[in-house]
């Protein structure tokens, strides 16, 4: 009996300590505050986690999709019929060149577009002298472009032709372009320690333009059954990562929960420990929530959640504690002396009951047979 009472007291103290730690890391909001933050959550779940390599690079014209316009004869530009960014078909008139050969008028030659595409540059004006070595205009085809990633050489060993990638450019921040690895460079760049990985990207809307800087997330493998959460949910740095977890019991309450992280890709972070499947983590508004302080007391939150009175530490009030609290309130209204707070009453009552039970057990043992 004595051992059972000791176990009961120890277990009660352990639960109280656990709840105390939980509530110390809790942020509780009023309904209006939660609405103002516009919080969004996502469930921690076991999923197929993508192993990725991140690299920077740029958009280029696909090899074989650039052409120049030049004149086979010397003369001067008689007329120029195109402007930069103009769409042009193969064979369309680009310019007319007036020959230097004598004549009245001098003979002229039409320069056609060698391919269909977009006029990239025009380097000629009417009346300008031209020669066979001059580049008069450039035409590029942008229906498919090349995205060239400069991958650090220590990561390049994980790359294989055919691997998929997600490509982003600053000009289209909300759009992701998907492509597969077409070829790897035969030589690395000794200057910056990278190896080029080229992707052929469909570009029907011509949103991608040569010279744009690009970010590459290249998928090199997958692992099944990995606990992961969205990157937006993970806060902190170094070895002190944490997330804000929606409380399972209290409304508009969130627990600051430390986690151990593993690998990371462009969308998710692997969680090695600290979360369970189904935990709801805050994604949108997580940083503002972590910086906030509770505006609702624990007692108020528990009262609202369960519909009956609680102590300041979140424990349920006994009938005696409710009566003591009522007497205290009446004493304040009548100007009476101070009384113990509910938490003190709870611990005092619990300790007294346990001591009485221990005393009874001791007396019974003394009065029994030796």
pLDDT at position 190: 87
Residue 205, helix vs strand vs coil: coil
Phi-psi region of 187 (alpha: psi -120 to 50; beta: other; left: phi over 0): beta
DSSP 28-67: E--HHHHHHHT-EEEE-EEEEEEEEEEEEEEEEEPTT-EE
Between residues 171 and 324, the one the model is more confident about: 171
Confidence of residue 338 (pLDDT cuts 50, 70, 90): very low
Q: For residue 26, count other CB atoms closer than 10 A to its CB.
A: 19
Whole-angstrom Cα distance, residue 51 to residue 57?
Answer: 20
What integer pLDDT is reported at residue 307 of this predicted model? Answer: 59
pLDDT band for position 291 (cuts 50, 70, 90)? confident
Task: State whether residue 142 is helix, strand or coil.
Answer: coil
The domains found in the chain, sorted by start residue, are: 1-25+296-370 (no CATH), 26-52+224-295 (2.40.420.20), 66-140 (2.40.50.100)
Angle, CA 118 vertex, CA 117 and CA 119 arms, to 5°: 125
> What is the length of the chain?
370
d(CA 129, CA 42): 66
C-alpha distances in Å from residue 115, one per residue of 33, 65, 90, 140, 210: 61, 9, 4, 8, 18
pTM: 0.66
- HSE (side-chain half, CA atoms, 13 Å) at 328: 14
Average pLDDT over residues 209-232: 95
* pLDDT number for residue 336: 46
Contacts of 254 (CB under 8 A, 6+ apart): 26, 27, 28, 29, 244, 245, 246, 247, 282, 289
Give me 6's structure tokens.
């000791």
Percent of the chain predicted with pLDDT > 90: 61
Q: Could you tell me if 165 and 148 are in contact, meaning their C-beta atoms sit under 8 angstroms apart? A: no
pLDDT for the residue numbered 118: 95
- The span from the CA of 9 to the CA of 53, in Å, is 54
CB 92 within 8 A of CB 105: no
Instruction: Tell me the per-residue pLDDT of 78-102, one tens digit each, with 9 for 90 and over.
Output: 999 999 999 999 999 999 999 988 8
Q: Which tens digits make up the pLDDT trace of 53-69?
A: 999 999 999 999 999 99
Does the pLDDT value for residue 16 go beyond 60? no
Backbone angles phi, psi at 118, to 5 degrees: -115, 135
CB 277 within 8 A of CB 45: yes
């Amino acid at each position: 009996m004595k051992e059972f009472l000791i176990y009961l007291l120890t277990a009660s103290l352990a639960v109280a300590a656990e709840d105390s730690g939980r509530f110390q890391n809790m942020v509780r909001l009023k309904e209006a505050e939660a609405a103002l933050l516009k919080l969004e959550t996502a469930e921690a779940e076991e999923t197929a986690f993508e192993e990725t390599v991140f690299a920077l690079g740029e958009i280029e014209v696909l090899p074989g999709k650039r052409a120049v316009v030049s004149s086979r004869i010397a003369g001067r530009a008689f007329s120029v019929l195109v402007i930069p960014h103009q769409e042009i078909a193969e064979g369309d008139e680009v310019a007319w060149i007036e020959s230097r050969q004598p004549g009245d008028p001098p003979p002229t030659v039409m320069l056609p577009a060698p391919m269909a595409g977009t006029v990239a540059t025009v380097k000629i004006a009417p009346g300008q002298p031209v020669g066979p070595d001059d580049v008069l205009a450039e035409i590029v085809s942008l229906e498919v472009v090349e995205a060239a990633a400069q991958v650090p050489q220590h990561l390049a060993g994980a790359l294989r032709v055919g691997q998929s990638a997600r490509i982003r450019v600053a000009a289209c921040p909300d759009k992701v372009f998907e492509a597969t690895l077409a070829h790897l460079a035969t030589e690395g760049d000794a200057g910056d320690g990278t190896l080029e990985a080229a992707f052929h990207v469909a570009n029907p809307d011509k949103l991608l333009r040569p010279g744009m800087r690009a970010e590459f997330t290249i998928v090199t493998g997958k692992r099944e059954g990995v606990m992961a959460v969205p990157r937006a949910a993970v806060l902190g740095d170094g070895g002190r990562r944490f997330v804000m977890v929606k409380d399972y019991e209290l409304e508009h309450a969130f627990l600051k929960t430390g986690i151990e992280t593993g690998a990371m890709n462009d969308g998710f972070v692997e969680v090695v420990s600290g979360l369970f499947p189904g935990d709801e983590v805050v994604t949108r508004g997580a940083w503002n929530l972590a910086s906030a302080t509770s505006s609702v007391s624990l007692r108020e939150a528990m009262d609202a959640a369960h519909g009956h009175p609680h102590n300041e530490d979140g424990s349920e009030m006994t009938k005696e504690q409710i009566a003591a609290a009522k007497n205290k309130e009446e004493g304040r209204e009548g100007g009476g002396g101070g009384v113990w707070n509910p938490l003190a009453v709870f611990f005092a009552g619990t300790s007294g009951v346990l001591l009485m039970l221990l005393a009874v057990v001791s007396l019974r043992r003394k009065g029994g047979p030796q």
